[in-house]
């Protein structure tokens, strides 16, 4: 496979100075949360009427993600300065990376569900720009489109879940929602709300059935893959599930969904990794497997699982980001990512080989590595899982394939001899591309040797998720006999898979064509083809060119939507208040006009009947205390009727009846929609009038009309001052309507002059 950019140079872009931005955020986050409870809270009002505020809260879990985003981000910017040197559009990439980083920071620190959603979708949009950076290539465009449709589409479903969850809990504050959890856990609508939320989380974190988009996103440049797809964006779904877990961890539905989908994703994606020959796609499938493991850990019952999740989250970022950097260096310097074309690179690329070896040790979970420390906690959490103890047996296969993937990245490419000479032009990457994988892998190595240094961070993160501190669960830096037994078994199985990788690959290639035809990728492609087909069908059947059909469709859709909304409302609890006696004639006029409009065929009589409805409505306004509104209605009706009668008389349309073909089906549809709409409107009016009157707005306008707007006519003050923009828009609409009618009036005037001549 050809590399992303031309093999290159040792140059470094000056845009690397942008690494100071995440570096400053890293230092600020650590300083602001050092010591104490590690909780920072800030809030500003945004939309108080909807319960939405710019609320941010940084606790142990948010801090861990912020440190990952800023820490890995710092080295990603340094790496991109070398990787993208000489690329003309590198400024666009750096700008999108900065925007993405800020959106990630906003997501993990937001303390309001709707604010979190705003930042969540910002990550989807910026990742779309990053994955599709090389937009001149069709593969990059398809990958970016697929990532956006899956993650942003899942986000919209998640928004529906957030709205329902906020309505159930009575607040959109995440901290408030967690605090009040016992009061709403038995709500009947909670399963539907959680289902919608999990769709968004699963889509973002590539859980089945949305797992396919992540490996396809490897069309992005390597700095993007290392940042978005190993340490940050794909872990947002994991973050959301971990954030809500303290409130939901006792629900059996929550546990089974997360453990079931997470375990299935972890196992299936590792099997799919064996089918790949592209190094980045192999690493991508192993990332999907790790995300499945994290999801499964969140769902496991017990108090150890949160600490295991926090440890594995950190360990995965510290070994997977360097491995993506390694894949980028190999691609950049050799022009290929295919493991069939790569072998014996260690003498030519010793620094990259060293970084790969350091990261692979942690990925394989070897003793004295951070990966081993995390997997030891995972084993304890699985044993505590009770009914989910079967997960431990399934994880053996996942761990074995992880060992094989680590061996492919660190041994096969750099130390395996394929019998072919290594081209002489291959050389080590520049310092900006060598340093980041060594630093990230080195940090993981140090923490593996001294995991007690991580105790404050992991303990606070686990407590924020409702678990116990990991430092109280496991003897730091110790290796028990049971742990060594598991390591030896996993290592042995992994070596066997590595040695038989090519044979397994050929076997799976022969046995998977059927799965390719029925898998999620095939369904996604069918969905894309179905969109234009559905559009064509709707165009042919719903857009026939008849205004009456459009009116029926619009009215029917609106009536159906209102009917669904009405079902969610309580019926009128008390009879509506009595209307003034003077409104009776006006109501009779409205009824007579409406009934007459159903039977008359003359355009003039139809116009007069509809005018009677308008005059009757003005009469109602007059007697219920809105004379200015009644005057406006009278004026509009008179002007409307006079102008249309003049047009009808001049065009001769009144001399013949309206030639409308009688179609029983259409007439029945119109009658049904009209009758249903009228009954629904009456029901909603009665429901509104029967409830307690909310005088908040009327009291506000009455109290502020004189001191703020200097007017005693409250209605006029509302129109001219408080809603001046709306009034200006209405005036603009009326003016536009007049300008539209003006040519017709001028034509009538011109026709009259021609007649008199």
Reported as a single tens digit per residue, the pLDDT across 211-229 is 888 888 887 888 888 888 7
Which range (132-141, 545-554, 713-722) has the least confidence? 545-554
pLDDT above 80 for 330:
yes
Contacts 24+ apart (CB under 8 A), 341-346: 342/279, 342/412, 342/413, 343/412, 343/413, 343/416, 343/417, 343/418, 343/420, 343/422, 344/414, 344/415, 344/416, 344/417, 344/418, 344/422, 345/413, 345/414, 345/422, 345/426, 346/414, 346/415
Residue 539 lies in a domain: no
pLDDT at 391: 60
**Residue found under tokens 């029925």:** 518
What tens digit of pLDDT does each residue of 621-668 get?
777 777 767 777 777 777 777 777 777 776 665 554 444 455 565 667
* pLDDT value of position 7: 40
Instruction: Give the gyration radius of the chain's Cα atoms.
Output: 34
Mean pLDDT along residues 512-519: 66
Top-confidence residue, 98 or 390: 98
Per-residue confidence (pLDDT) for residue 215, from 0 to 100: 85
pLDDT of residue 483: 55
Claim to verify: residue 179 and residue 290 sit in the same structural domain:
yes
Give the domain range for residue 87.
14-511
Confidence at residue 694, expressed as pLDDT on a 0 to 100 scale: 67
Q: Which of 486, 511, 536 is the last residue of a domain?
A: 511
Q: In this structure, is residue 520 part of a structural domain?
A: no
Please check whether residues 613 and 473 belong to one and the same domain: no
112 has which bridge partners? 173
**Same domain for 737 and 602:** no
Q: Which of 50-54, 130-134, 244-248 has the highest mean pLDDT?
A: 244-248
Most confident of 61-65, 391-395, 630-634, 702-706: 61-65
492 and 551, same domain (yes or no) = no
- Tell me, what CATH number does 609's domain have? 1.10.287
Average pLDDT, integer, range 34-62? 79
What mean pLDDT do residues 187-204 have? 90
Of the ranges 4-8, 251-255, 295-299, 454-458, which one carries the lowest mean pLDDT score? Answer: 4-8
In a domain, 5, yes or no: no
424 is a domain residue: yes
Local confidence band at 108 (pLDDT 50, 70, 90 cut-offs): very high
Q: What is the pLDDT of residue 2?
A: 43
pLDDT on residue 422: 67
Neighbours of 669 (CB within 10 A): 17
Confidence of residue 118 (pLDDT cuts 50, 70, 90): very high
**pLDDT reported for residue 660:** 47
Mean pLDDT of the residues in the chain: 80
Regarding whether 667 and 552 lie in a shared domain, the answer is yes
Residue 521 within any structural domain of the chain = no
Instruction: State the DSSP code for 55.
Output: E
Distance CA 467, CA 463 (A): 5
Residue with the larger pLDDT of the pair 257 and 381? 257
Instruction: Look at residue 208 in the predicted model and tell me its pLDDT.
Output: 86
Q: Are 259 and 283 contained in the same domain?
A: yes
- Locate tokens 């505590």: which residue? 384
Number of domains in the chain: 4
pLDDT of res. 544: 67
Q: Do the domain assignments include residue 323?
A: yes
Same domain for 616 and 681? Answer: no
Q: Are residues 259 and 408 in the same domain?
A: yes
* DSSP letter assigned to residue 338: B
Q: For residue 420, what pLDDT is reported? A: 64
Please check the confidence at residue 417 and state whether its pLDDT lies above 70.
yes
Band of residue 47 on the pLDDT scale cut at 50, 70, 90: confident
Whether residues 175 and 204 fall in one domain: yes
Residues 287 and 372 in one domain: yes
Using 50, 70 and 90 to split pLDDT, how confident is the model at 337? confident
Which residue has better confidence, 643 or 433?
Answer: 433
| Residue 353 and residue 243 share a domain | yes
- What is the reported pLDDT for 198? 93
**Residue 522 in domain:** no
Q: Which of 605, 638, 659 is the last residue of a domain?
A: 659
Among 355-359, 553-557, 704-708, the least confident range: 553-557
- Over residues 131-173, the pLDDT tens digits come to 888 888 888 888 888 888 888 889 999 999 998 898 888 888 8
Residue 149 to residues 101, 125, 213, 325, 455: CA-CA distances in angstroms? 21, 10, 10, 27, 39
The candidate with the shortest Cα–Cα distance to 192, out of 155, 170, 160, is 160
Task: Tell whether 286 is covered by a domain.
Answer: yes
User: What is the rounded CA–CA span in Å between residue 611 and residue 591?
Assistant: 12
Which pLDDT band, with edges at 50, 70 and 90, does 479 fall under? very low
CA dist 368 and 186 (Å) reads: 45
The residue from 511, 534, 552 where one domain ends is 511
Same domain for 301 and 154:
yes
Grade residue 180 by pLDDT with cuts at 50, 70 and 90.
confident
């Amino acid at each position: 496979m050809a590399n992303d950019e031309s093999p290159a140079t040792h140059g470094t872009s000056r845009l690397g100075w942008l690494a100071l931005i995440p570096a400053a955020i890293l230092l600020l986050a650590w300083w602001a949360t050092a010591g104490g409870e590690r909780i920072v809270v800030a809030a500003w009002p945004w939309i108080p009427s909807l319960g939405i505020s710019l609320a941010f809260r940084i606790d142990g879990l948010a801090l861990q993600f912020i440190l990952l985003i800023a820490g890995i981000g710092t080295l990603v910017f340094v790496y991109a300065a070398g990787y993208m040197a000489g690329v003309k559009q590198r400024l666009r990439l750096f700008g999108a990376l900065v925007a993405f980083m800020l959106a990630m920071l906003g997501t993990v620190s937001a303390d309001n569900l709707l604010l979190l959603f705003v930042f969540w979708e910002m990550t989807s949009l910026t990742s779309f720009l990053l994955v599709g950076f090389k937009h001149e290539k069709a593969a990059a465009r398809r990958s970016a489109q697929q990532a956006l449709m899956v993650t942003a589409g899942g986000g919209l479903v998640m928004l529906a879940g957030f709205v329902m969850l906020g309505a159930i809990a009575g607040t959109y504050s995440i901290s408030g929602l967690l605090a009040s959890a016992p009061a709403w856990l038995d709500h009947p609508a909670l399963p539907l709300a959680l289902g919608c939320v999990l769709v968004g989380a699963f889509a973002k974190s590539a859980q089945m059935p949305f797992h396919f988009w992540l490996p396809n996103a490897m069309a992005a440049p390597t700095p993007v893959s290392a940042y978005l797809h190993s340490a940050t964006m794909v872990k947002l779904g994991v973050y959301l599930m971990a954030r809500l877990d303290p409130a939901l961890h006792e629900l059996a539905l929550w546990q089974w969904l997360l453990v079931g989908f997470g375990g299935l994703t972890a196992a299936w994606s590792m099997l799919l990794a064996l089918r790949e020959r592209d190094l980045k796609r192999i690493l991508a499938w192993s990332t999907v497997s790790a995300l499945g493991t994290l999801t499964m850990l969140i769902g496991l019952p017990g108090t150890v699982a949160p600490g295991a999740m926090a440890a594995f989250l950190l360990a995965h970022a510290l070994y997977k980001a360097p491995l993506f950097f390694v894949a980028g260096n190999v691609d950049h310097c050799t022009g290929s990512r295919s493991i069939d074309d790569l072998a014996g690179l260690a003498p030519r690329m010793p620094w990259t080989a060293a970084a790969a070896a350091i990261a692979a040790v942690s990925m394989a979970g070897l003793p004295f590595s951070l990966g081993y420390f995390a997997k030891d906690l995972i084993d304890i959490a699985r044993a505590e899982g009770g009914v989910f103890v079967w997960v431990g047996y399934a994880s053996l296969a996942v761990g074995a394939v992880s060992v094989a993937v680590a061996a492919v990245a660190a041994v096969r490419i750099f130390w395996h001899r394929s019998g072919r000479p290594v081209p002489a032009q291959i050389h080590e990457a520049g310092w900006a591309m060598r340093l980041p994988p060594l630093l990230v892998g080195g940090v993981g190595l140090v923490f593996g040797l001294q995991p007690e240094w991580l105790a404050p961070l992991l303990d606070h993160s686990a407590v924020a998720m409702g678990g116990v501190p990991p430092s109280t669960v496991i003897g730091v830096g110790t290796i028990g006999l049971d742990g060594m037994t598991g390591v030896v078994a996993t290592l042995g199985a992994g070596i066997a898979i590595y040695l038989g990788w090519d044979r397994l690959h050929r076997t799976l290639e022969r046995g998977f064509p059927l799965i390719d035809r029925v898998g999620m990728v095939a369904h996604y492609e069918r969905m894309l083809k179905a969109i234009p087909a559905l559009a064509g069908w709707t165009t042919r059947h719903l857009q026939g060119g008849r205004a009456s059909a459009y009116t029926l469709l619009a009215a029917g859709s609106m009536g159906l939507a209102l009917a669904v909304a009405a079902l969610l409302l309580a019926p009128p609890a008390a009879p509506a208040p009595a209307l003034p006696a003077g409104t009776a004639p006006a109501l009779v006029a409205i009824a007579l006009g409406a009934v007459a409009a159903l039977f008359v065929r003359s355009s003039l009589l139809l116009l007069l009947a509809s005018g009677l409805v308008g005059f009757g409505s003005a009469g109602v306004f007059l007697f219920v205390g809105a004379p200015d509104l009644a005057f406006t209605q009278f004026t509009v009706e008179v002007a409307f009727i006079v102008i249309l009668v003049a047009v009808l008389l001049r065009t001769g349309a009144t001399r013949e009846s309206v030639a409308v073909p009688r179609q029983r089906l259409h007439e029945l549809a119109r009658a049904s929609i009209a009758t249903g709409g009228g009954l629904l409107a009456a029901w909603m009016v009665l429901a509104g009038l029967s409830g307690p009157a909310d005088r908040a707005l009327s009291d506000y306008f009455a109290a502020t009309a004189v001191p703020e707007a200097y007017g005693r006519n409250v209605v006029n003050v509302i129109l001219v001052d408080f809603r001046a923009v709306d009034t200006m828009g209405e005036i603009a609409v009326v003016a536009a309507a007049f300008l539209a009618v003006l040519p017709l009036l001028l034509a009538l005037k011109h026709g009259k002059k021609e007649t008199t001549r």
